[in-house]
């Protein structure tokens, strides 16, 4: 057994009927070379067999949630559980003509229902009905199981990367459920340890707050940046509905790297600048104005170990996005400055402070508090949007022997915030995903279109070619349909 850490527990407690806390991992497969090299075509059975023979490498997929009696502590993971693959691995059909728009709609429907907590918290879907010998593998994995880094490492274990020998087997050990007394005894020991640690944690938080206050007092240019707890109301911020919409778009990694290098900013600075430009376009369209900076929640990993495949070792930056600035290059400069300052605040407070504070969430009352917030929060004072950037595999991979051509990933929606964008780099491309609910956009692909426009706008202003390079290995793009 292993106990959920504070961030894991928070992601579990914050799940409500309208705020699901599973993440999505989508791999697009091109089976052309597989079908040439094999006597039978690529199929659901090939994928299912791959999952079955690699379960020993995908440890979190064999975890099952165990509640502590009387909610005396955070739940625990029961490890090495039996898996019913007939339940967890399924097929789904993509409607004709089977392109990106139809696939994104299927993924949105899959994302709209919660996972069954009585079972291991994941489902995989094998999507059929796509042209050009393509398939999609859609993973729905609870965020409590794995953050972005752990998910990337899990995906690497599922895929055959160049030069790696497959590690497969048909048998593995299974679990033995704990007794009630064992659960309570373990919880008591952990509570005692946390009680000893609490004074030091409070002292660290106070010292960090003092350092941040001193640093903030010395900084200039804060008037153009979003203020904590003063986020502006926007069409993106409302009580989130249970249904989800999803959109994807691939971009050439070369375009992003070239632009970042030309402007002297980091890759992540540029991603956030693209988000600021895209969000400005959307705000002007839906709200008729973009006159105040937004506040973006940007997760950062506190443990980037390539061997970690489970848990949430993350913290977060609060980054001001200058959507109120019309000049694209000035937006880039302000975004880079805002990111730098957010990192300074994060480091002054302590990168692991957020996660450690979450350890003290009270299990008896936390779920009810989060449920009330989810049902009533029409405005989120801590964040307007979530934007993530995750480095994926640098080598092209295969699943069951078929080529993986695109990888998409996205996190969760938060109370009062119906926009989450994640960019996942893979070999020579960057795959953009946007998650929202069904009450926010007329067409969710307006969001991905706006992000591509945001990148092109920055490149044009920087004197670079505005026309973006096509990603030849990816499916054809889907653009928004005019209302």
- Is pLDDT of 482 > 80? no
- Is pLDDT of 256 > 60? yes
Residue 221's contacts (CB-CB under 8 Å, 6 or more residues apart) are: 337
- Is pLDDT of 165 > 60? no
Residue 172 lies in a domain: no
The total number of residues written for the chain in this structure:
483
Residue 424 lies in a domain: yes
Residue 171 lies in a domain: no
Residue 253 lies in a domain: yes
Q: Helix 366-376 crosses helix 6-13 at what angle (to 10 degrees)? A: 50
Determine the pLDDT at residue 56: 87
Rounded CA-CA distance 397/426 in Å is 10
Determine the pLDDT at residue 308: 93
Compute the mean pLDDT over every residue in the chain, rounded to the nearest whole number: 93
- How far from the centroid of its chain's Cα atoms is residue 172's Cα? 30
Q: For residue range 278-295, what is the model confidence (pLDDT) as tens digits?
A: 999 999 999 999 999 999
Rounded CA-CA distance 353/362 in Å is 17
- Is pLDDT of 164 > 80? no
Tokens of 329: 């290059």
Q: For residue range 356-387, what is the model confidence (pLDDT) as tens digits?
A: 999 999 999 999 999 999 998 888 889 999 99
Rounded CA-CA distance 322/334 in Å is 7
CATH number assigned to the domain comprising residue 291: 3.30.559.30
Residue 169 lies in a domain: no
Tokens of 131: 């042209």
Instruction: Tell me the torsion sign for CA atoms 339, 345, 351, 356.
Output: negative
Q: Helix 445-461 crosses helix 267-286 at what angle (to 10 degrees)? A: 120
Residue range of the domain that includes 158:
1-164+179-483
The pTM for the full model equals 0.94
CA–CA distance from 461 to each of 80, 326, 365, 408, 449 (Å)? 54, 11, 51, 29, 18
Torsion, Cα 395 398 401 403, to 10 degrees, reads -90
Determine the pLDDT at residue 224: 84
- Is pLDDT of 392 > 70? yes
Q: For residue range 1-48, what is the model confidence (pLDDT) as tens digits?
A: 889 999 999 999 999 999 999 999 999 999 999 999 999 999 999 999
For 443, phi then psi, to 5°, come to -145, 115
- Across the range 245-259, mean pLDDT stands at 98
143 catalytic per annotation? yes
Catalytic residue among 143, 346, 445, 453: 143
- Across the range 105-111, mean pLDDT stands at 98
The H-or-E segment that residue 385 falls in is strand 385-391
Tokens of 46: 């090939």
Domain count, the chain: 1
Rounded to 5°, the CA angle 405-410-416 comes to: 160
pLDDT band at 162 (very low <50, low <70, confident <90, very high): very low
Determine the pLDDT at residue 23: 96
Determine the pLDDT at residue 174: 66
């Amino acid at each position: 057994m292993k106990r959920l850490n504070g961030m894991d527990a928070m992601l579990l407690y914050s799940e409500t009927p309208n705020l699901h806390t599973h993440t999505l991992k989508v791999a697009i497969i091109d089976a052309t070379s597989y079908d040439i090299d094999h006597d039978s075509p690529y199929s659901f059975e090939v994928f299912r067999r791959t999952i079955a023979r690699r379960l020993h490498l995908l440890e979190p997929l064999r975890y099952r949630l165990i509640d502590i009696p009387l909610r005396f502590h955070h739940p625990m993971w029961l490890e090495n559980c039996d898996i019913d693959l007939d339940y967890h691995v399924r097929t789904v059909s993509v409607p004709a003509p089977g392109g990106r728009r139809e696939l994104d709609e299927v993924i949105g429907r899959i994302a709209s229902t919660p996972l069954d907590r009585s079972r291991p918290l994941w489902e995989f879907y094998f999507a059929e009905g796509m042209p050009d010998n393509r398939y999609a593998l859609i993973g729905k994995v609870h965020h409590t199981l794995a953050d972005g880094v752990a998910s990337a490492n899990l995906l690497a274990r599922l895929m055959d990367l160049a030069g790696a020998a497959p590690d497969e087997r048909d048998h593995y050990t299974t679990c033995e459920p704990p007794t009630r007394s064992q659960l309570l005894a373990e919880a008591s020991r952990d509570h005692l340890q946390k009680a000893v640690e609490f004074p030091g944690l409070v002292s660290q938080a106070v010292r960090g707050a003092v350092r941040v206050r001193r640093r903030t007092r010395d900084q200039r240019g804060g008037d153009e940046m979003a203020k904590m707890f003063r986020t502006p109301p926007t069409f993106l911020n409302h009580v989130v509905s249970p249904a989800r919409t999803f959109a994807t778009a691939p971009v050439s990694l070369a375009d992003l790297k070239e632009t970042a290098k030309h402007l002297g900013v980091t890759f992540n600075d540029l991603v956030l600048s693209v988000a600021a430009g895209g969000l400005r376009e959307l705000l002007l369209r839906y709200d008729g104005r973009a006159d105040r900076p937004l506040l973006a929640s940007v997760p950062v990993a506190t443990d980037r170990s390539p061997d970690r495949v489970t848990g949430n070792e993350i913290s977060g930056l609060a980054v001001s996005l200058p959507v109120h600035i019309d000049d694209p290059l000035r937006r880039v400069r302000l975004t880079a400055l805002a990111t730098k300052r957010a990192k300074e605040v994060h480091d002054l407070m302590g990168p692991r402070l957020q996660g450690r504070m979450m350890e003290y969430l009270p299990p008896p009352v936390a779920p009810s508090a989060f449920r009330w917030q989810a049902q009533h929060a029409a405005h989120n004072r801590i964040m307007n949007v979530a934007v993530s950037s995750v480095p994926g595999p640098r080598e092209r991979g295969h699943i069951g022997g078929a080529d993986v051509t695109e990888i998409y990933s996205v996190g969760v929606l938060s109370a009062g915030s119906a926009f989450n964008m994640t960019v996942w780099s893979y070999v020579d491309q960057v795959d953009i995903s946007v998650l929202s609910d069904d009450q926010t956009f007329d067409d969710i692909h307006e969001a991905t279109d706006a992000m591509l426009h945001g990148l092109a706008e920055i490149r044009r202003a920087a004197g670079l070619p505005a026309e973006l390079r096509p990603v030849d290995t990816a499916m054809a793009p889907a653009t928004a349909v005019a209302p």
